[in-house]
Amino acid sequence: MSPTSLFSEGNIGATQVKNRVFMAPLTRNRAQADGTPKAMATEYYKQRATAGLIITEATQISPLGKGYLDTPGLYNETHAEAWKAITSAVHQQNGKIFIQLWHVGRISHLSLLPKGEQPIAPSAIRANSQTFTEKGFEDTSDPRAIKSEEIPSLIEQYRSATRLAKSAGFDGVEVHGANGYLLNQFIASNCNKRTDAYGGTIENRSRLLLEVIDAVSNEIGAEKVGVRLSPIGQFNDIDVSDSSEIYPYIYKELENRKLAYLHVVEAFPGADVPEAHKTLIENLRSSFKGNYIANGGYDKDRGQDIVNSGLAFAVAYGRPYISNPDLPARFDKGIALTEPDQSTFYGGNETGYTDYPAAT
C-alpha cells in the first residue's frame, strides 16, 4: 500500500488520523432552537467515526452568528456539554473530530436573531440570497455594517468558542472562511466597501480572517486549527473577480502560520467550473506548502489520485457521508455507495439522519 493512499495513517498538525477520507461539514438543521445539539447528533457522529477526521456541521459562535433554522451553537456551557457527549462518543470509537466555527454575517433573517437585532456585515449591502426559516426559504434581511469598535468583540467570540471547544473535548477547530459567510464577506470586494483597516486593499480585506485565526490559534495552538476557504465560490452572492489577486496573499499568510490544514472548496454541487477557475484552484493548490484538504465532487478514484500525487493530504467528502456512515470501508472494499434521500437533508428527525446502515 502506498504511504500516501486514501487509507494511510498520518499526522495533520497535532492530530493523528487513521485515513485520508475526511468528513466535510454538513448542515443538517437538527439542533434545538437554542442551538443545543440534540441527543440524536451523538449517534450520528458516532456512526461516522471511522472517518480520518470528522469536521462538524457549521456551528455559530454567537446568537447573532445564526443564519438558518435549527443550526447548532457553541457559545455557552449548555452547548459545550451537549457537544462533549458527541466528542466522547467519537473518541470511544477511536475517531477524531474538529468543530467548524461559523458566523453567517449577512446571510440571515430577522426571525432567526435576538429581538431588536439585525444581521451584521462588512457593509450595509443585502445579499441577493435566501436562507431557511420557520416559513421555509426567505430572502435574507438587510444587514448593518459592523462598526470598527465592535470587531475586537467579534474576534473574542471566536476565541471564546474555541475555549469552549477545548472544554468539550474537540481535537481542534476549523474556522469557516468560505461560502459567502461573514469572513468571506470581508474578503469579497462586492460586499466589503469599508474605508477603515478592514476594507479596500487586499491586506485589509484579509485582515479579519487572519486576526480570527490568530486569536483561535493563541487559544488552542496553531497545530489544532484548520481553515476553510472557497476562492472560486460565488454562493451567497460573492464576487470572485479578484480571487487571483487576493487568495495568493491569503494562502501565503496561512502557510506562514503553520496551521493544521487548509480546507478548500474547489467546486460546488451541480455548478460548472470555468477553465479559468480550475486553473486558479490548481495554481493555488500547487503553491501551498502546508497540509491541504481537497473538497468538491471527488469520488474514490479522484480522491486517491490527488492524495497519491502529494497535492492533497486528504479529501473531505460531504454528501456521500450522509448515506454511507462507513464510507472509508466502502471505498476500501469496493462496496457500492447508498444514494441519499435529499428530502431529509435539512431538518427532521432520525429518518435520513441516523438510519442509514453500515454495509459491513
pLDDT tens digits for range 54-85: 999 999 999 999 999 999 999 999 999 999 99
pLDDT tens digits, 125-174: 999 999 999 999 999 999 999 999 999 999 999 999 999 999 999 999 99
Q: Which residues are CB-contacts of 136 (< 8 A; sequence separation ≥ 6)?
A: none
User: Is 3 inside a domain boundary?
Assistant: no
Extract the residue ranges of the chain whose pLDDT is less than 70: 1-3
**Catalytic choice (181, 261, 321, 353):** 181
Closest CA to 73 of 179, 160, 183: 160
Q: Is residue 4 part of a domain?
A: no
181 is catalytic: yes
Q: CA torsion sign, 316 to 320 to 325 to 326?
A: negative
CA atoms of 94 and 171, how far apart (whole Å): 12
**171 part of a folded domain:** yes
DSSP states of 204-249: HHHHHHHHHHHHHHHHH-GGGEEEEE-TT--TTT---TTHHHHHHH
Q: What is the per-residue pLDDT for 259?
A: 98
- pLDDT at position 1: 40
Answer yes or no: is 350 within a domain: no
Q: Give me the CATH number covering residue 262.
A: 3.20.20.70
In a domain, 272, yes or no: yes
Measure the CA–CA gap between 292 and 311, rounded to whole angstroms: 7
43 within domain boundaries: yes
Residue 276 CA, chain-centre distance (Å), reads 24
SS (H, E, C) 114-182: CCCCCCEECCCCCCCCEEEECCEEEECCCCEECCHHHHHHHHHHHHHHHHHHHHCCCCEEEEECCCCCH
Domain count, the chain: 1
pLDDT at position 72: 98
Q: Residue 280's domain spans which residues?
A: 10-344
At residue 4, the pLDDT reads 76
Q: What is the pLDDT of residue 270?
A: 75
Helix (H) or strand (E) holding 43: helix 40-47
Reported pTM = 0.97
What pLDDT, in 10s, does the model give residues 272-281? 889 999 999 9
**202 C-beta neighbours (distance < 10 Å), count:** 16
Whether residue 159 lies inside any domain: the answer is yes
pLDDT at 3: 58
Helix (H, G, I), strand (E, B) or coil at 56: strand
Residue 1 lies in a domain: no
Q: CA-CA-CA-CA torsion for 148, 202, 108, 323, nearest 10 degrees?
A: -140
